[in-house]
Amino acid sequence: MNRFLIALFVLFTAISLSAQGFKVSAKGDQTFNFEDKGGRNQATFFSRTLLEDITGTSNNIKGKVLFSVDNIESTLTGKISITTESIKTGISLRDEHLQGEAWLDAKKFSEISFDIKKVNKIVKSEGNKLVLNVTGDFFLKGKTKSVTSDFTLIYLDASEKTKTRAEGDLLNVRGKFNIKLSDFGIESKVIGAKVADDIEIEVNIVGSNK
Amino acid sequence: MNSKQKISVQVTVSLAFAAFLAWAYFGFNTFTQTKVLIDKKDELFDTTYKVWEEQFVWGLDLSLLIAGLSLLVGGVLYFVFKNRNKA
Protein backbone atom coordinates (compact mmCIF):
# COMPACT_ATOMS: atom_id res chain seq x y z
CA MET A 1 0.00 0.00 0.00
CA ASN A 2 2.82 2.33 0.98
CA ARG A 3 4.67 1.61 -2.26
CA PHE A 4 1.51 2.36 -4.21
CA LEU A 5 1.13 5.73 -2.44
CA ILE A 6 4.79 6.63 -3.07
CA ALA A 7 4.46 5.69 -6.76
CA LEU A 8 1.30 7.79 -6.98
CA PHE A 9 3.06 10.75 -5.35
CA VAL A 10 6.05 10.44 -7.72
CA LEU A 11 3.72 10.23 -10.73
CA PHE A 12 1.70 13.24 -9.54
CA THR A 13 4.89 15.28 -8.96
CA ALA A 14 6.25 14.32 -12.39
CA ILE A 15 2.98 15.29 -14.09
CA SER A 16 2.75 18.63 -12.30
CA LEU A 17 6.38 19.46 -13.09
CA SER A 18 6.06 18.55 -16.76
CA ALA A 19 2.90 20.65 -17.00
CA GLN A 20 4.74 23.74 -15.81
CA GLY A 21 4.68 26.38 -18.47
CA PHE A 22 2.48 29.24 -19.57
CA LYS A 23 -1.22 28.50 -19.32
CA VAL A 24 -2.25 30.61 -22.30
CA SER A 25 -4.14 30.14 -25.58
CA ALA A 26 -0.97 30.30 -27.67
CA LYS A 27 0.69 27.01 -28.58
CA GLY A 28 3.95 25.87 -30.14
CA ASP A 29 7.05 27.87 -30.98
CA GLN A 30 7.01 31.60 -30.35
CA THR A 31 9.47 34.35 -31.22
CA PHE A 32 9.22 37.61 -29.35
CA ASN A 33 10.87 40.72 -30.68
CA PHE A 34 11.87 43.31 -28.07
CA GLU A 35 12.61 46.22 -30.35
CA ASP A 36 10.35 48.93 -28.98
CA LYS A 37 9.90 52.06 -31.02
CA GLY A 38 8.01 53.72 -28.17
CA GLY A 39 11.09 53.58 -25.96
CA ARG A 40 9.19 51.96 -23.10
CA ASN A 41 11.54 48.96 -22.75
CA GLN A 42 14.25 49.64 -20.26
CA ALA A 43 17.50 48.39 -18.80
CA THR A 44 18.61 50.19 -15.65
CA PHE A 45 21.82 50.08 -13.66
CA PHE A 46 22.39 51.14 -10.07
CA SER A 47 25.66 52.07 -8.43
CA ARG A 48 25.50 52.71 -4.70
CA THR A 49 28.36 54.18 -2.68
CA LEU A 50 28.63 56.26 0.47
CA LEU A 51 29.42 59.37 -1.58
CA GLU A 52 26.91 59.01 -4.37
CA ASP A 53 24.16 56.84 -5.83
CA ILE A 54 24.02 56.69 -9.62
CA THR A 55 21.16 55.38 -11.72
CA GLY A 56 21.56 54.92 -15.46
CA THR A 57 18.96 53.88 -17.99
CA SER A 58 18.87 52.71 -21.57
CA ASN A 59 15.73 52.55 -23.68
CA ASN A 60 17.48 51.47 -26.85
CA ILE A 61 16.82 47.74 -26.50
CA LYS A 62 16.96 45.15 -29.23
CA GLY A 63 16.73 41.39 -29.30
CA LYS A 64 14.64 38.28 -29.60
CA VAL A 65 13.51 35.53 -27.25
CA LEU A 66 12.40 32.17 -28.66
CA PHE A 67 10.67 29.28 -26.90
CA SER A 68 7.99 26.67 -27.18
CA VAL A 69 5.00 27.53 -24.98
CA ASP A 70 4.61 23.89 -23.92
CA ASN A 71 8.24 23.30 -23.05
CA ILE A 72 9.90 26.57 -22.11
CA GLU A 73 12.51 24.99 -19.83
CA SER A 74 14.43 23.24 -22.59
CA THR A 75 13.63 25.51 -25.52
CA LEU A 76 14.26 29.05 -24.24
CA THR A 77 16.94 30.88 -26.20
CA GLY A 78 17.55 34.47 -27.15
CA LYS A 79 19.68 37.53 -26.83
CA ILE A 80 18.87 41.02 -25.56
CA SER A 81 21.18 43.95 -26.16
CA ILE A 82 21.43 47.69 -25.65
CA THR A 83 23.60 50.21 -27.43
CA THR A 84 26.32 51.47 -25.07
CA GLU A 85 25.88 55.10 -26.11
CA SER A 86 22.19 55.02 -25.16
CA ILE A 87 22.93 54.90 -21.41
CA LYS A 88 21.85 58.09 -19.63
CA THR A 89 22.58 59.05 -16.02
CA GLY A 90 20.93 62.47 -15.81
CA ILE A 91 24.19 64.43 -16.06
CA SER A 92 25.51 64.88 -19.60
CA LEU A 93 29.15 65.30 -18.53
CA ARG A 94 28.95 62.05 -16.56
CA ASP A 95 27.39 60.34 -19.61
CA GLU A 96 30.37 61.51 -21.69
CA HIS A 97 32.79 60.05 -19.13
CA LEU A 98 30.81 56.80 -19.02
CA GLN A 99 31.06 56.39 -22.81
CA GLY A 100 34.80 57.11 -22.69
CA GLU A 101 37.68 54.69 -23.14
CA ALA A 102 38.34 54.35 -19.40
CA TRP A 103 34.80 53.20 -18.67
CA LEU A 104 32.51 51.54 -21.26
CA ASP A 105 34.41 52.60 -24.39
CA ALA A 106 31.27 53.05 -26.49
CA LYS A 107 33.23 53.72 -29.68
CA LYS A 108 34.95 50.34 -29.59
CA PHE A 109 32.23 48.32 -27.84
CA SER A 110 28.93 49.60 -29.13
CA GLU A 111 26.78 46.90 -27.52
CA ILE A 112 26.13 45.39 -24.11
CA SER A 113 24.23 42.11 -24.27
CA PHE A 114 22.77 39.16 -22.42
CA ASP A 115 22.69 35.84 -24.25
CA ILE A 116 20.40 33.19 -22.72
CA LYS A 117 22.23 29.87 -22.36
CA LYS A 118 20.16 27.68 -20.09
CA VAL A 119 17.03 27.54 -17.94
CA ASN A 120 18.16 25.89 -14.71
CA LYS A 121 14.69 25.48 -13.28
CA ILE A 122 11.18 26.84 -13.17
CA VAL A 123 11.03 28.57 -9.81
CA LYS A 124 7.34 29.44 -9.92
CA SER A 125 4.45 28.86 -12.30
CA GLU A 126 1.17 30.77 -12.01
CA GLY A 127 -1.02 30.73 -15.11
CA ASN A 128 0.50 33.19 -17.55
CA LYS A 129 3.38 34.02 -15.21
CA LEU A 130 6.61 32.07 -14.83
CA VAL A 131 9.67 32.70 -12.74
CA LEU A 132 12.69 31.06 -14.33
CA ASN A 133 16.19 30.65 -13.02
CA VAL A 134 18.29 31.41 -16.07
CA THR A 135 22.00 31.33 -16.84
CA GLY A 136 23.30 33.52 -19.61
CA ASP A 137 26.40 35.22 -20.95
CA PHE A 138 26.71 38.89 -20.11
CA PHE A 139 28.89 40.78 -22.57
CA LEU A 140 30.44 44.11 -21.61
CA LYS A 141 33.49 45.93 -22.95
CA GLY A 142 34.78 42.92 -24.90
CA LYS A 143 34.49 40.46 -22.03
CA THR A 144 31.89 37.79 -21.33
CA LYS A 145 30.90 36.50 -17.91
CA SER A 146 28.30 33.91 -16.97
CA VAL A 147 25.38 35.32 -14.96
CA THR A 148 22.62 33.37 -13.20
CA SER A 149 19.45 34.98 -11.91
CA ASP A 150 15.68 34.68 -11.61
CA PHE A 151 13.62 36.26 -14.37
CA THR A 152 9.87 36.79 -14.31
CA LEU A 153 8.01 36.24 -17.58
CA ILE A 154 4.39 37.27 -18.10
CA TYR A 155 2.63 36.10 -21.26
CA LEU A 156 -0.43 38.02 -22.46
CA ASP A 157 -2.52 36.63 -25.30
CA ALA A 158 -3.42 39.23 -27.93
CA SER A 159 -6.49 41.25 -26.90
CA GLU A 160 -7.98 44.71 -27.28
CA LYS A 161 -5.98 45.69 -24.18
CA THR A 162 -2.63 44.47 -25.53
CA LYS A 163 -3.25 46.17 -28.90
CA THR A 164 -2.71 49.52 -27.22
CA ARG A 165 0.93 48.47 -26.75
CA ALA A 166 1.66 46.32 -29.82
CA GLU A 167 0.15 43.80 -32.22
CA GLY A 168 0.16 40.12 -31.30
CA ASP A 169 0.82 38.35 -28.01
CA LEU A 170 3.00 40.20 -25.53
CA LEU A 171 5.75 38.92 -23.27
CA ASN A 172 7.04 40.93 -20.33
CA VAL A 173 10.46 39.96 -19.02
CA ARG A 174 11.73 41.32 -15.74
CA GLY A 175 14.87 40.49 -13.87
CA LYS A 176 17.74 41.73 -11.73
CA PHE A 177 21.31 40.60 -11.51
CA ASN A 178 24.65 41.95 -10.33
CA ILE A 179 27.97 42.28 -12.09
CA LYS A 180 31.39 43.48 -10.98
CA LEU A 181 33.02 46.17 -13.12
CA SER A 182 36.45 44.72 -12.29
CA ASP A 183 35.39 41.41 -13.92
CA PHE A 184 35.08 43.32 -17.19
CA GLY A 185 38.39 45.11 -16.95
CA ILE A 186 36.87 48.41 -15.82
CA GLU A 187 39.13 49.82 -13.16
CA SER A 188 39.41 53.37 -11.89
CA LYS A 189 40.51 55.26 -8.78
CA VAL A 190 36.93 56.38 -8.20
CA ILE A 191 35.58 52.81 -8.06
CA GLY A 192 34.62 52.16 -4.49
CA ALA A 193 34.34 55.85 -3.64
CA LYS A 194 32.06 57.45 -6.22
CA VAL A 195 31.21 54.43 -8.36
CA ALA A 196 30.51 50.97 -6.97
CA ASP A 197 32.37 47.94 -8.33
CA ASP A 198 29.23 45.92 -7.74
CA ILE A 199 26.58 47.13 -10.17
CA GLU A 200 22.95 46.05 -10.06
CA ILE A 201 21.29 45.66 -13.44
CA GLU A 202 17.54 45.57 -13.82
CA VAL A 203 15.66 44.72 -16.99
CA ASN A 204 11.99 45.38 -17.67
CA ILE A 205 11.04 44.76 -21.29
CA VAL A 206 7.99 43.89 -23.33
CA GLY A 207 8.16 42.03 -26.62
CA SER A 208 5.62 41.13 -29.26
CA ASN A 209 5.37 37.98 -31.39
CA LYS A 210 4.19 39.92 -34.50
CA MET B 1 36.90 96.67 10.42
CA ASN B 2 34.92 99.53 8.92
CA SER B 3 31.19 99.43 8.06
CA LYS B 4 31.79 98.53 4.39
CA GLN B 5 34.07 95.68 5.36
CA LYS B 6 31.42 94.48 7.82
CA ILE B 7 28.79 94.51 5.07
CA SER B 8 31.05 92.60 2.66
CA VAL B 9 31.74 89.93 5.31
CA GLN B 10 28.04 89.66 6.16
CA VAL B 11 27.02 89.36 2.48
CA THR B 12 29.75 86.75 1.86
CA VAL B 13 28.76 84.61 4.83
CA SER B 14 25.03 84.95 4.00
CA LEU B 15 25.58 83.89 0.37
CA ALA B 16 27.66 80.87 1.39
CA PHE B 17 25.11 79.93 4.05
CA ALA B 18 22.23 80.29 1.55
CA ALA B 19 24.09 78.08 -0.95
CA PHE B 20 24.41 75.29 1.63
CA LEU B 21 20.83 75.82 2.76
CA ALA B 22 19.67 75.33 -0.85
CA TRP B 23 21.79 72.16 -1.03
CA ALA B 24 20.09 70.83 2.11
CA TYR B 25 16.64 71.83 0.80
CA PHE B 26 17.18 69.83 -2.42
CA GLY B 27 18.19 66.72 -0.48
CA PHE B 28 21.99 66.78 0.00
CA ASN B 29 22.81 65.62 -3.55
CA THR B 30 26.48 65.45 -4.46
CA PHE B 31 26.06 66.71 -8.01
CA THR B 32 23.70 69.23 -9.57
CA GLN B 33 21.25 67.58 -11.94
CA THR B 34 18.88 68.94 -14.53
CA LYS B 35 17.05 65.65 -15.02
CA VAL B 36 15.56 63.25 -12.48
CA LEU B 37 14.09 59.77 -12.77
CA ILE B 38 10.36 59.47 -12.16
CA ASP B 39 8.61 56.12 -11.68
CA LYS B 40 5.73 55.50 -14.10
CA LYS B 41 3.14 52.79 -13.76
CA ASP B 42 2.68 50.20 -16.51
CA GLU B 43 -1.00 49.29 -16.10
CA LEU B 44 -0.85 46.39 -18.57
CA PHE B 45 1.75 44.39 -16.65
CA ASP B 46 1.31 46.04 -13.26
CA THR B 47 4.93 47.12 -13.09
CA THR B 48 6.82 50.40 -12.94
CA TYR B 49 9.41 51.84 -15.25
CA LYS B 50 11.54 54.97 -15.05
CA VAL B 51 11.33 58.12 -17.12
CA TRP B 52 13.77 61.05 -17.16
CA GLU B 53 12.04 64.37 -16.47
CA GLU B 54 13.48 67.86 -16.64
CA GLN B 55 13.93 69.00 -13.04
CA PHE B 56 16.64 71.05 -11.41
CA VAL B 57 18.30 69.48 -8.38
CA TRP B 58 20.80 71.60 -6.45
CA GLY B 59 24.04 69.73 -5.70
CA LEU B 60 27.01 70.16 -3.37
CA ASP B 61 29.17 71.13 -6.37
CA LEU B 62 27.02 74.22 -7.00
CA SER B 63 27.04 75.17 -3.30
CA LEU B 64 30.83 74.89 -3.15
CA LEU B 65 31.15 76.97 -6.31
CA ILE B 66 28.89 79.73 -4.98
CA ALA B 67 30.51 79.66 -1.53
CA GLY B 68 33.99 79.75 -3.10
CA LEU B 69 33.14 82.62 -5.44
CA SER B 70 31.48 84.65 -2.69
CA LEU B 71 34.51 84.09 -0.42
CA LEU B 72 36.81 85.22 -3.21
CA VAL B 73 34.79 88.33 -4.08
CA GLY B 74 34.15 89.07 -0.37
CA GLY B 75 37.88 88.71 0.39
CA VAL B 76 38.86 91.07 -2.44
CA LEU B 77 36.23 93.63 -1.36
CA TYR B 78 37.41 93.39 2.26
CA PHE B 79 40.92 94.43 1.26
CA VAL B 80 39.69 97.04 -1.24
CA PHE B 81 37.62 98.73 1.48
CA LYS B 82 40.52 98.47 3.92
CA ASN B 83 42.94 100.19 1.51
CA ARG B 84 40.42 102.92 0.56
CA ASN B 85 40.02 103.73 4.23
CA LYS B 86 43.78 104.18 4.59
CA ALA B 87 43.93 106.48 1.52
CB proximity A10 to B under 8 Å: no
* b/e per residue A39-51 (b: at least 16 CB within 10 A): ebbbbbbbbebee
Question: Are the Cβ atoms of B50 and A42 closer than 8 angstroms?
Answer: yes
**Closest residue by Cα to residue A46 from A163, A156, A188, A195:** A195
CB proximity B26 to A under 8 Å: no
pLDDT in tens, A162-203: 998 889 999 999 999 999 999 999 988 888 778 999 999 999
pLDDT in tens, A15-69: 444 446 788 888 889 999 999 877 789 999 999 998 888 999 999 999 999 999 9
Nearest CA in chain B to A205: B49
Question: Which of B28, B40, B49 has the most A C-beta neighbours within 10 Å, making it the best mutation to test the interface with A?
Answer: B49
Residues of A in contact with B50 (CB under 8 A): 42, 44, 55, 57
CB proximity B87 to A under 8 Å: no
∠ at Cα B28 (B57, A104), nearest 5°? Answer: 70
- Torsion, Cα A84 A89 A95 A97, to 10 degrees, reads -100
**Which residue numbers in chain B have pLDDT < 50?**
none
Residues of A in contact with B33 (CB under 8 A): 90-91
